[in-house]
Amino acid sequence: MKHTIIITGGAGFIGSHVVRLFVNRYPDYRIINLDKLTYAGNLANLADIEDRPNYRFVKMDICDFEGVLALMQQEQVDGIIHLAAESHVDRSIKDPFTFAQTNVMGTLSLLQAAKVAWDGRWEGKRFYHISTDEVYGALEMTDPEGIEPPFTTKASSGSHHLAYGSKFFTEDLKYQPHSPYSAAKASSDHFVRAFHDTYGMPTIVTNCSNNYGPYQFPEKLIPLFINNIRHRKPLPVYGRGENVRDWLYVEDHARAIDLIFHEGKVGETYNIGGFNEWKNIDIIKVLINTVDRMLGRREGEDMDLITYVTDRAGHDLRYAIDSTKLQRELGWEPSLQFEEGIEKTVRWYLDNQQWMDRVTSGDYQKYYEEMYKGR
């Protein structure tokens, strides 16, 4: 079956990988990238596919209900994959209103536009909402030394291979968000399920762990630190660097989204992750060794860049996703071992210094004006 799909937030980090995958894999689908181009949106992330006949970019705010509705009717949209959001926890601590506006009101505006456009004709329609593991709150670290995880996936099959507690985030856990970011995402998840339960809208929600890979905005740990190591700038480690995150290569997330969009069960929630837990400080050491080696420096030469700074307010201690349901029901697994993913990622940022320089200088925001003027 052919689809016309709006992908929101397609100019961001994960969204750009999802847009690329769908445009390349489904030449007979029409893919509409709807993005407001906030500071986090960068159309250069999609330079390789922007001239494809099955791709269209629309600069629009998801909060613009009338605009989204008109677009859906004009294009006869039958699927929405919703990634647009304010996504950075530190920004949400400084400016919670923007997070509530985009993540809650924006999601509600999209849902309402889809409800009006589809008008109860749910057959063949799908509203797929991308959320985060942060809605579940934080897990205890019961074993700081690390234990065998219940599962080994491709992502966790490398040398590291540890879990830092016996509890994991499962789909049936109560939501306990702690940051304004995760509170806003939790609220948006509730609205999506409410539209399913109240109106019968065919919705799906997925909650994924930390992503890493090319095109991530360098305010997030991995690209920020790669760039700082390269330029020998201090690496601001929050607290003692003991917090644990569960890392997934971004293309594996995009593959999961593709599979779930097509084969996921309506009304369901799926967790996405690779049982790949790392303490921040351990990842940072891997990044220093990898960047040093790739730049021809002595491995570990830049360890003294590590600078412990005041902890993030309300900093969640440990995230660990249990993605057994997705594995069991749809057969999804990560395709990449973490060590391979980190090598690819560091190599990409070092090889794409111009992309990084344009982002850090602010020049990337001119891309839209140059490429889309008059279109």
Is 133 among the catalytic positions?
yes
Which DSSP state fits 364? G
| Inter-CA distances, 7 with 4, 18, 69, 128, 130, Å | 10, 8, 14, 10, 11
Q: Which of these, 281, 124, 85, 108, lies nearest to 198 by C-alpha position?
A: 108
Torsion of CA 261, 264, 269, 273, to 10 degrees: -80
The item of ligand NAD, ligand DAU, none sharing an interface with residue 18, based on CB under 5 to 8 Å by kind, is: none
Q: Verify whether residue 171 is a known catalytic residue.
A: no
- Closer to ligand DAU by CB, 80 or 244: give it: 244
The yes or no reply on residue 281 touching ligand DAU (CB under 6 A) is no
**Residue 189 Cβ, how far from ligand NAD at the closest point, in Å?**
10
If one asks whether residue 210 binds ligand DAU (CB under 6 A), the answer comes out as: yes
Q: Does 224 bind ligand DAU (CB under 6 A)?
A: yes
Using the rule CB under 6 A, which residue among 52, 56, 59, 88 binds ligand DAU?
88
- In eight-state DSSP terms, residue 104 is I
Distance (Å, rounded) from C-alpha 312 to C-alpha 235?
15
Residue of 128, 164, 181, 319 marked active site: 181
What sign does the dihedral 338-341-343-345 (CA atoms) show?
negative
Binding-site string for ligand DAU from residue 99 to residue 138, where x marks contact by CB under 6 A and - marks none: ---------------------------------xxx----
DSSP 220-277: SHHHHHHHHHHTT--EEEETTS--EEEEEEHHHHHHHHHHHHHHSPTT-EEEE--S-E
Residues 242/210, Cβ–Cβ less than 8 Å? no
Site for ligand NAD in 205-244 (CB under 6 A): 208, 210-211, 217
Rounding to the nearest 10 degrees, give the CA dihedral for residues 236, 44, 248, 60: 100
Query: 319 is in the binding site of which of ligand NAD, ligand DAU, none (Cβ under 5 to 8 A by kind)?
Result: ligand DAU
By the rule CB under 6 A, 22 interacts with ligand DAU: no
Would you tell me which residues interact with ligand NAD (CB under 6 A)? 8-9, 11-15, 35-38, 40-41, 61-63, 83-87, 102, 106, 130, 132, 185, 208, 210-211, 217
Would you tell me which residues interact with ligand DAU (CB under 6 A)? 87-89, 132-134, 209-210, 220-221, 224, 236-238, 243, 245, 280, 312, 319
